[in-house]
Chains A and B, each alone.
Chain A
Amino acid sequence: MSAETGGSQSQSRSDSSGMFASGQRWVENLSDTQFAYLLLAPSLLLFAVIAFWPLARTFQMSLYANSLYGADRLGEFVGFSNYVRLLTGDLNSSLPRPFLDLSQPFTSAVTVTLIFTVVSVVFETIIGFGQAIILNQDFRGRRWVRVAIILPWAVPIVIQGMIFYLLFQPTVGFLVEPLHQLGLFSTTPQANSMDSLIIVIVADVWKTSAFMALIILAGLQSVNRSLYDVAKVSGASKFEAFKTVTLPLVLPSVLVAMLFRTIGAMRVYGLITTVSSCNTVPSLSCLVVQTFSTSRYAAAAAVAFVTAALIGLVVMVYIVKFADVQGSGGI
Chain B
Amino acid sequence: MSNSEGNALQRWASRSISNPERTYKALFYVLTGVFLFTTLFPFYWLLVLALTPSGNMIDVGLLPNGFNPEAFVTVFTRVPFHLYILNSLIIGVVTTAIVLVLASFAGYAFGRFEFPGRRPLMLVFLAISYFPPAAFLLPLFRLFTANITFFTLPGVGTVNSPMLFNGPGAMMLPYTALFMPLAIFILTTFYSQIPDGLEDAARVEGNTRFGALFKVIMPLSAPGVATAGVLTFISVYNEFFFAFLMTDGRVQNWATIVWGLLSYQGRYATSYNLMAAASILGVIPIAILVVVAQEKIVSGLTSGALKE
Residues of A at under 8 Å CB distance from B? Answer: 1-3, 5, 7, 9-10, 12-13, 24, 27-28, 32-33, 35-37, 39-40, 42-43, 46-47, 49-51, 53-55, 57-58, 61, 71-72, 127, 130-131, 133-134, 137, 143, 145-152, 154-159, 162-167, 169, 171-174, 177, 206, 210-211, 214-215, 217-219, 237-238, 253, 256-257, 260, 263, 266-267, 269-271, 273-274, 284-285, 288-289, 292, 297, 300-301, 304-305, 307-308, 311-312, 315, 331
B297 on the interface (CB 8 Å rule)? yes
How distant is the Cα of A196 from the Cα of B22 in the complex, in angstroms? 42
Instruction: Give 4 closest A-B pairs by Cβ, nearest first.
Output: A270-B240, A218-B302, A50-B177, A308-B135
How distant is the Cα of A218 from the Cα of B297 in the complex, in angstroms? 12
Cβ A33 vs Cβ B298 within 8 A: no
- Which residue on chain A has the smallest CB distance to residue B188? A331
Q: Which of B116, B211, B237, B261 is the one whose CB lies under 8 Å from A162?
A: B261
Given A1-B113, A27-B210, A42-B102, do A150 and B306 touch, yes or no (CB 8 Å)? no
Cβ A137 vs Cβ B28 within 8 A: yes
Shortest beta-carbon distance, B162 to chain A, in Å?
12
Cβ B240 vs Cβ A148 within 8 A: no
Cβ B240 vs Cβ A54 within 8 A: no
B275 on the interface (CB 8 Å rule)? yes
Given A50-B140, A55-B135, A274-B262, do A159 and B279 touch, yes or no (CB 8 Å)? yes
Residues of B at under 8 Å CB distance from A? Answer: 20, 24, 28, 31-32, 35-36, 38-40, 42-43, 45-46, 49, 57-62, 102-103, 105-106, 108-109, 112-116, 118-119, 121-125, 127-128, 130-143, 147, 173-174, 176-177, 180, 184, 196, 199-200, 203-204, 206-212, 234, 237-241, 244-245, 257-258, 261-262, 265, 272, 275-276, 278-279, 282-283, 286-287, 289-291, 294, 297-298, 301-302, 305-308
Cβ A131 vs Cβ B180 within 8 A: no
Cβ A43 vs Cβ B294 within 8 A: no
Q: Which of A10, A163, A217 is the one whose CB lies under 8 Å from B302?
A: A217
How distant is the Cα of A24 from the Cα of B213 in the complex, in angstroms? 14
Given A218-B306, A331-B119, do A50 and B174 touch, yes or no (CB 8 Å)? yes
> Which of B57, B105, B240, B265 is packed against the most chain A CB atoms within 10 Å?
B240
- Which residue on chain A has the smallest CB distance to residue B198? A2
A-B contact pairs, 9 of them (CB 8 A): A5-B204, A28-B208, A47-B128, A54-B139, A164-B42, A166-B49, A271-B240, A331-B119, A331-B122
Given A9-B204, A158-B257, do A166 and B275 touch, yes or no (CB 8 Å)? yes
Residues of A within 8 A of B35 (CB): 127, 130-131, 134, 145, 148-149
Residues of B within 8 A of A131 (CB): 35
Cβ B105 vs Cβ A307 within 8 A: no
Residues of A within 8 A of B209 (CB): 3, 7, 27-28, 35
Cβ B279 vs Cβ A238 within 8 A: no
Given A2-B200, A158-B240, do A174 and B60 touch, yes or no (CB 8 Å)? yes
Q: Known pairs A2-B199, A173-B60. 8 more at Cβ < 8 A?
A: A2-B112, A147-B290, A147-B291, A151-B40, A157-B239, A158-B240, A214-B301, A304-B132
Cβ B203 vs Cβ A7 within 8 A: yes
- Which residue on chain A has the smallest CB distance to residue B107? A39
Residues of B within 8 A of A51 (CB): 128, 131, 136, 177
- Which residue on chain A has the smallest CB distance to residue B57? A172
Shortest beta-carbon distance, B138 to chain A, in Å?
6
Residues of B within 8 A of A137 (CB): 28
Shortest beta-carbon distance, B135 to chain A, in Å?
4
Cβ A215 vs Cβ B184 within 8 A: no
Cβ A42 vs Cβ B105 within 8 A: yes
- Which residue on chain B has the smallest CB distance to residue A260? B305
Q: Which of A42, A154, A217 is the one whose CB lies under 8 Å from B287?
A: A154
- Which residue on chain A has the smallest CB distance to residue B35? A131
Shortest beta-carbon distance, A315 to chain B, in Å?
6
Cβ B286 vs Cβ A156 within 8 A: yes
Given A3-B209, A40-B106, A137-B28, do A315 and B130 touch, yes or no (CB 8 Å)? yes
How distant is the Cα of A257 from the Cα of B133 in the complex, in angstroms? 20
How distant is the Cα of A5 from the Cα of B186 in the complex, in angstroms? 28
> Which of B39, B45, B122 is packed against the most chain A CB atoms within 10 Å?
B39
Q: Which of A2, A55, A166, A297 is the one whose CB lies under 8 Å from B196?
A: A2
> Which of B103, B125, B184, B290 is packed against the most chain A CB atoms within 10 Å?
B290
Cβ A134 vs Cβ B31 within 8 A: yes
Given A146-B294, A238-B20, A256-B306, do A50 and B147 touch, yes or no (CB 8 Å)? no
How distant is the Cα of A152 from the Cα of B45 in the complex, in angstroms? 14
Shortest beta-carbon distance, B79 to chain A, in Å?
13
Q: Which of A1, A12, A269, A271 is the one whose CB lies under 8 Å from B134?
A: A269
Residues of A within 8 A of B289 (CB): 154
